[in-house]
């Protein structure tokens, strides 16, 4: 009897000690990240997951040959940033009619690289739209769900090109550690590269997904405040309010979860996230750009309240007042005279449209998750309508 008791108590003792160690390790880890903020970026960008592996970026189709694009419609280009970092990017031509796409000609096969580049450049200068795509964290531009989205964008309008970059430290870009300041330079360099090919700013739609929505929001703010430049639009997929807000709720890396339910601790935790990516501020400042928020109601990585709050903030900033602050009632209704709401058949999606001249729209897709927006026809239709193609 005594023996059993003893072993029970020592078992409980071991468990208790184990729990204390686990908490100590966790707190040490968090304290280290706070004391050395330069250790945070690898957890934010996750560029060390180099997936998909082994892409031959310099190959004939820029490494995209196996991804189902029409023959000879993708090239890898190199973009140099203001701090002399070289980035890899894809330039993807508009969707080709099937007959043209598969007519692989001897002329194309023997084409010199310079002539090929000139042909791509000439087509780019003649674009109707250029979608400049900034991807999310982890993995590179060849990631399947990103490719699905490029393909959808190719089919918007008649002559839509896609340019998708890899930030520093990702893909075939120089292996320089990404930081907020560095990635901001990457975004500016990518924009400048497109404009230097003879594309009018008014034809360029800046697109961001997930982490990239912070990058895209920064870029449009920079363009409108520093250069008085307005593009064709800002398309934000699965946006977050600020990096700190995203980190606090991020299920893939629930480091800050223990803090999130306590308002003061949460505020403290927020202030300790070094990479800011303050999209709410940046978006509210870029008032001349058309904006479209797309968000899946089944997005558990970044829940759709982020996009709702951003939508309200952006419309509010343009009207000079708060919009529907407390009246976004449970089932997705926003009550505000400045906003019109359309519900699609079977509640497939809800579209919120500001009534201003420069459209600010928000489409919430009922069945979509964080990486699956490209699977929904309503998304393609909505982007086309927002860009004035239908
Ligand atoms: C930029 O970097 C390349 C190597 O990546 C180097 O050859 C070149 O000299 C650098 N240019 C400047 C202006 O620093
Ligand atoms: C910004 O651009 C708009 C239209 O292109 C122009 O009307 C306006 O005067 C410009 N503002 C400044 C400060 O240059
Ligand atoms: C104009 C402006 O406020 N831009 C800000 C956009 O957000 C980033 C933080 O991610 C700031 O560094 C910029 O100053």
Taking only the tens place, the pLDDT of each residue in 150-159 is 999 998 988 9
218 lines ligand 3 (CB under 6 A): yes
For the CA of 180, the closest atom of ligand 3 is: 10
Nearest ligand by distance to the CA of 87: 1
Give the pLDDT score at 12: 83
- Residues 6 or more apart whose CB falls under 8 angstroms from that of 205 comprise 129, 130, 131, 132, 231, 232, 233, 234, 235, 387
Contact yes or no for 278/242 (Cβ under 8 A)? yes
Domain assignment present for residue 85? The answer is: yes
Residues 23 and 130 in one domain: no
C-beta 278 within 6 A of ligand 3: yes
pLDDT tens per residue, range 325-335: 665 655 557 77
From residue 127, give the alpha-carbon distance in Å to each of 96, 182, 200, 203, 355.
Answer: 14, 29, 9, 8, 29
Assess whether 86 and 16 both reside in one domain: no
Same domain, 180 and 238: yes
Please check whether residue 313 lies inside any domain of the structure: yes
pLDDT of residue 210: 96
Ligand 2 centroid to Cα of residue 131, in Å, is: 24
Structural domains counted in the chain: 2
Q: Would the CB of 276 count as within 6 Å of ligand 3?
A: yes
pTM: 0.91
357 and 378 belong to one structural domain: yes
Structural domain boundaries enclosing 66: 46-386
**78 lies in some domain:** yes
Alpha carbon distance 195, 239 (integer Å): 25
CA-nearest residue, atom 4 of ligand 3: 282
Q: What is the CA(202)–ligand 2 centre distance, in A?
A: 14
* Residue reference for tokens 């699905």: 148
Cα separation, 117 vs 76, in Å, equals: 10
- Which ligand is the nearest neighbour of the Cα of 225? 3
The C-alpha atoms of residue 344 and residue 231 are separated, in whole angstroms, by 29
Distance 282 CA to ligand 3 centre (A): 6
How far, in Å, from the CA of 83 to the mean position of ligand 1? 9
Q: Which atom of ligand 3 is nearest to the CA of 181?
A: 12
Q: Which tokens sit at 342? A: 């359309």
For 230-259, give one letter per residue: b (16+ CB within 10 A) or e.
Answer: bbbbbbbbbbbbbbbbbbbbbeeeeebeeb
Mapped onto helix, strand or coil, the DSSP state of residue 153 is helix
Residue with the smallest CA separation from ligand 3 atom 5 is 282
Ligand 3 proximity of 282 Cβ (cutoff 6 Å):
yes
Residue 258 in any domain: the answer is yes
Query: Could you say which ligand is closest to the alpha carbon of residue 211?
Result: 3
Q: What whole-number distance in Å separates Cα of residue 352 and Cα of residue 324?
A: 12
Kindly give the number of the ligand 3 atom that is closest to the alpha carbon of 217: 6
pLDDT mean values, one per 10 residues, the chain (390 residues) = 59 85 81 78 87 89 89 94 98 78 62 89 96 96 97 92 98 96 98 98 98 97 97 97 83 71 79 86 94 96 92 93 69 77 86 93 96 96 94
Distance 182 CA to ligand 1 centre (A): 16
Where helices occur in 207-340 by DSSP H, the ranges are 211-227, 243-249, 263-271, 279-285, 305-319
pLDDT number for residue 334? 79
Q: Decide if 41 is inside a domain.
A: no
**Protein residue whose Cα sits closest to atom 3 of ligand 3:** 282
- Adjacent-strand bridge partners of 292: 235, 361
Ligand nearest to the Cα of 226, by number: 3
The reply to whether 40 falls in a domain is no
Q: List phi, psi (to 5°) of 36.
A: -125, 80
Whether residue 277 has its Cβ less than 6 Å from ligand 3? yes
Cα(24)–Cα(271) distance, rounded to whole angstroms? Answer: 22
Q: What is the CATH number of the domain that holds 146?
A: 3.40.50.1820
Residue among 281, 285, 286, 313 to mutate when testing ligand 3 (max atoms within 8 A of CB): 281
Q: Are 301 and 252 in contact (CB under 8 A)?
A: yes
Both 162 and 309 in a single domain?
Answer: yes
């Amino acid at each position: 009897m005594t023996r059993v008791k003893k072993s029970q108590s020592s078992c409980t003792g071991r468990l208790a000690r184990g729990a204390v160690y686990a908490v100590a390790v966790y707190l040490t880890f968090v304290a280290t990240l706070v004391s050395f903020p330069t250790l945070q970026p690898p957890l934010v960008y996750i560029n060390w997951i180099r997936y998909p592996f082994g892409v031959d970026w310099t190959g004939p189709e820029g490494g995209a040959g196996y991804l189902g694009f029409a023959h000879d419609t993708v090239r890898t280009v190199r973009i140099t940033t203001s701090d002399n970092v070289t980035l890899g990017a894809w330039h993807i031509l508009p969707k080709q009619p099937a007959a043209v796409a598969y007519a692989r000609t001897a002329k194309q096969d023997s084409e010199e690289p310079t002539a090929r580049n000139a042909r791509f450049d000439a087509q780019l200068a003649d674009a109707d739209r250029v979608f400049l795509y900034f991807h999310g964290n982890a993995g590179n531009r060849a990631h399947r769900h990103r490719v699905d989205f490029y393909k959808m964008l190719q089919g918007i309008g008649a002559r839509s090109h896609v340019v998708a970059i890899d930030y520093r430290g990702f893909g075939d870009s120089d292996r320089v550690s990404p930081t907020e300041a560095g990635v901001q330079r990457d975004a500016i360099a990518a924009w400048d590269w497109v404009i230097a090919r003879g594309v009018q700013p008014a034809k360029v739609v800046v697109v961001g997904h997930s982490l990239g929505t912070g990058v895209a929001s920064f870029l449009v703010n920079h363009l409108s405040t520093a250069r008085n430049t307005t593009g064709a639009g800002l398309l934000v997929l699965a946006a977050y309010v600020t990096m700190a807000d995203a980190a606090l709720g991020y299920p893939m890396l629930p480091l800050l979860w223990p803090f999130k339910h306590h308002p003061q601790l949460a505020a403290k935790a927020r202030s300790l996230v070094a990479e800011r990516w303050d999209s709410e501020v940046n978006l509210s400042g870029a008032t001349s750009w058309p904006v479209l928020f797309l968000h899946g109601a089944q997005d558990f990585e970044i829940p759709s309240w982020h996009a709702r709050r951003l939508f309200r903030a952006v419309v509010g900033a343009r009207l000079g007042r708060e919009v529907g602050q407390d009246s976004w009632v449970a089932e997705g209704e926003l009550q505000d005279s400045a906003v019109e709401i359309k519900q699609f058949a079977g509640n497939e999606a809800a579209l919120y449209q500001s009534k201003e001249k420069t459209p600010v729209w928000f489409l919430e897709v009922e069945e979509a998750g964080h990486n699956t927006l490209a699977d929904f026809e309503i998304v393609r239709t909505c982007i086309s309508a927002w860009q004035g193609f239908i």
